[in-house]
């Protein structure tokens, strides 16, 4: 057999293996997401459905559960959720605080903040966590908050939320505080997001710039993960 033919078969096997691995990764994401959906409470499932039907499409259930776990792992007692209609994630953060501390939800849209305020009103009698919902852009509200007062910040939604929040993160977070950016791969518009160099949408461009900014900041240690639609997690040194 000609050596070239043997090498061609080896290359084909490698390519087939690569396709299989990608297929398995896609199946793993789907399995994880379905598993997380199954573990959502009936109340949270109803909330997700209502939000989706109102046009405020909710993100990954597995990602929301991971964010709740980060609250518990870090022992966070003071949390900021910056988002655009990210209701399910905000409620997971509230539940993870386990009847303590403060959760501040910041949403610049009227519809998004209305959903959060309604959910907070229903939750208020069931928890001792202080729940605060603010209708304002992150760039306007966050500079008003006290410095070194927060353990965890979670950012979602519109592209402008990300840079504006990171600009305040070092000031707002306590030492060893954490900031988490969701949807960093910017897959929501269907153009391929960050992983497609041809995608020049506002969100994709903003996320590429965010990655560079956060990873180059010597005050933070960060890592990018494919959870949900991409998480960038940064730890304040």
Percent of the chain beyond pLDDT 90? 70
Q: What is the CATH number of the domain that holds 193?
A: 3.40.50.150
Task: Establish if 133 belongs to a structural domain.
Answer: yes
Task: Establish if 219 belongs to a structural domain.
Answer: yes
Q: What is the distance, to the nearest Å, from the Cα of residue 194 to the centroid of all Cα atoms in its chain?
A: 15
Strands 130-135 and 150-155, bridge-based pairing = unpaired
Number of structural domains the chain divides into: 1
Q: Would you tell me the crossing angle of helices 87-96 and 42-53 to the nearest 10 degrees?
A: 160
- What is the residue range of 217's domain? 31-234
pLDDT at residue 160, rounded to an integer: 92
Beta bridge partners of 78: 102
In the three-class reduction of DSSP (H, G, I as helix; E, B as strand; rest coil), residue 218 is classed as: coil
Residue 172 is encoded by which pair of tokens?
């707002």
pTM passes above 0.85: yes
Task: Establish if 52 belongs to a structural domain.
Answer: yes
Task: Establish if 13 belongs to a structural domain.
Answer: no
Task: Establish if 84 belongs to a structural domain.
Answer: yes
Other beta carbons within 10 angstroms of residue 225's beta carbon come to: 13
By the 8 A CB rule, do 193 and 199 touch?
Answer: yes
Q: How many residues does the chain have?
A: 237
In the three-class reduction of DSSP (H, G, I as helix; E, B as strand; rest coil), residue 190 is classed as: coil
Residue in 63, 54, 39 with CA at minimum distance from that of residue 85: 54
Residues of the chain with pLDDT under 50: 1-4
Task: Establish if 172 belongs to a structural domain.
Answer: yes
pLDDT at residue 13, rounded to an integer: 57
């Amino acid at each position: 057999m000609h050596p070239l033919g043997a090498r061609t078969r080896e290359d084909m096997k490698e390519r087939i293996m690569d396709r299989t691995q990608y297929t398995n990764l896609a199946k793993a994401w789907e399995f994880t997401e379905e598993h997380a959906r199954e573990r959502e409470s009936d109340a949270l499932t109803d909330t997700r459905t209502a939000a989706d039907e109102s046009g405020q499409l909710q993100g990954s259930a597995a990602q929301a559960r991971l964010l709740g776990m980060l609250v518990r792992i870090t022992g966070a007692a003071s949390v900021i959720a910056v988002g655009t209609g990210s209701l399910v994630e905000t409620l997971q953060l509230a539940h993870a605080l386990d009847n303590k501390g403060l959760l501040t939800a910041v949403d610049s849209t009227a519809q998004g903040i209305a959903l959060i305020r309604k959910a907070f009103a229903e939750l208020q009698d069931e928890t001792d966590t202080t729940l605060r919902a603010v209708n304002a852009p992150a760039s306007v509200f966050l500079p008003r908050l006290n410095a070194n007062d927060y353990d965890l910040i979670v950012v979602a939604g519109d592209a402008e939320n990300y840079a504006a929040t990171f600009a305040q993160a070092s000031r707002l977070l306590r030492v060893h505080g954490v900031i988490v950016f969701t949807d960093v791969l910017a897959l929501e518009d269907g153009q391929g997001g960050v992983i497609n160099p041809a995608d020049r949408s506002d969100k994709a461009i903003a996320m590429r710039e965010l990655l560079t900014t956060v990873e180059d900041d010597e005050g933070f240690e960060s890592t990018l993960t494919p959870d949900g639609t991409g998480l960038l997690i940064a730890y304040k040194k």
